[in-house]
Amino acid sequence: MKTIFDLREKQDDEVYKAIQNLYDEPLKVVRLDNKSITPCIGCWNCWLKTPGRCIMKDQMAESYSDYVNSDAIILLMDTAQGFISHKAKAFFDRTIPHYHPYIKIVDGECHHVARYKSYPDIAFYFDSEGLTSQEEHVIEDYLYRTAYHFQSKAYRIVKDSSLQLRLLEPRKAKRQSVAFNSVEPMKKLVIYNGSPRRSGSNSALILKKVLEALGDRVEIRDLKKRDKWEEWADAFKIEDHVMFFMPLYVHAMPSHVMGFIEQLQVSRGSISFFVQSGFPESSQSYYLEAYFEQLAIRLGRTYIGTAIKGGVEGLQMRPVKAQEKMIEPMVKAITDLVYEGSFNAKSICQLARPIRLGRGMEIFFKVLAKLGLVNFFWDQQLKKNDAYEKRFDCPYLFLKKKTTTA
């Protein structure tokens, strides 16, 4: 089975016909319209309470079996503000139930263990009109990277005289093509909190400490308040210093953050980014960093830089002292920025360690895995939720009918 997921706003059936010519079997078309993909809220029910199953009841959830039972899927997506649209981003974020919370290490990076035996090849289709060549490159790299972590082969459907399938090759993130800049010390920094979590948010905990340290030199706005977006996007045009602080979601921003970014217009002033992630290695966030550099250029704002901190998942479960130890350098990075007008390069490098996991760490991880300690964090919660026995469930797999012979 092969399925087209059409995530574009405007329907254009001609493209289906052209894409159909690339495949030798009929393609199923699933059109996910505007309200069909509820953004992931990071509740992790799909990992800890109903293994493999998302709690959302929407068209996206209804189409999960089309995803996991296909041997190839074709994603038709829009771009916006030089990246994939928030809807395409929501699609990726909502794909997380198809993987285990369990971790393995591949080339010095953490990966989620597969829940299903195999995953479909993914062919991406987007129009490059309106993108700079750098932005197009960044998007392609990001799509490759996402498919790689989804354990899928990645293709891009490109327009030549006709449509062609091109295999996407591994490429490093094209980051640091824009240098970190500095401005005058900041009278006030507006920080957007991009965590979709309704409770237990690590970002909220960290930003609370930032507020305690900086008082009225900082204003923190929660992007979950959608009714404020219009007012804030308008204010962005005249605000001198703005930072986006967010958890990493599938190697990029959570989808609602992209939704807000799509509303922004060219304006003067500075822009900075802070990304915190679950896995310890900061290389996870490099593809997002590459996009933020391009976004600063697109918005015409002074790029102050992107601070990255890995290993933040589980922050809430640490004893208070250990929490403070982890939060303190993040708060310092932001106070430095406000008081000095720039990130402190040395602290930012320190914060981003490890970039990848070294050989020693890999060996240590293997020993922990042998002792059953790697999955302990997840198993403990699965057991508490009475879901441990179901941890290997593959809820969206079509069961093959048994054939009986006479």
Ligand X SMILES: Cc1cc2nc3c(=O)[nH]c(=O)nc-3n(C[C@H](O)[C@H](O)[C@H](O)COP(=O)(O)O)c2cc1C
Residues in touch with ligand X (CB under 6 A): 40, 42, 93, 96, 195, 197, 201-203, 247-251, 276-279, 284, 312-313
| Helix intervals (H) in 316-358 | 320-340, 345-351
Considering the complex, state which of residue 199 and residue 405 has its C-beta at the smaller distance from ligand X. 199
Residue 389: both structure tokens together: 């026995």
Residue 202 or 294 having the CB closest to ligand X? 202
Q: How far apart are CA 263 and CA 261, in angstroms?
A: 5
Q: Among 73, 69, 74, which Cα is nearest to 117's?
A: 69
Q: Which amino acid is at 185?
A: P
Q: How near is the Cβ of 254 to ligand X at its closest, in Å?
A: 7
Tokens of 231: 């007012």
β-pair partners for 220:
191
Nearest distance from residue 199's CB to ligand X, in Å? 9
Measured CA to CA, the distance from residue 372 to residue 92 in angstroms comes to: 30
Phi/psi-derived region of residue 340, left when phi > 0, alpha when psi is between -120 and 50, beta in every other case: alpha
HEC per residue, 262-307: CCCCCCCCEEEEEEECCCCCHHHHHHHHHHHHHHHHHHCCEEEEEE
Least distance between ligand X and beta carbon 83 (Å): 15
Question: Residue 379 — φ and ψ, nearest 5°?
Answer: -60, -40
Q: Which is nearer to ligand X, 115 or 251 (CB)?
A: 251
d(Cα 378, Cα 392) in Å, to the nearest integer? 13
Rank residues 5 and 91 by Cβ distance to ligand X and give the closer one: 91
Task: Pick between residue 48 and residue 304 the one whose CB is nearest to ligand X.
Answer: 48
Q: Collect all residues with Cβ–Cβ distance below 8 Å to 368 and sequence separation of at least 6.
A: 374
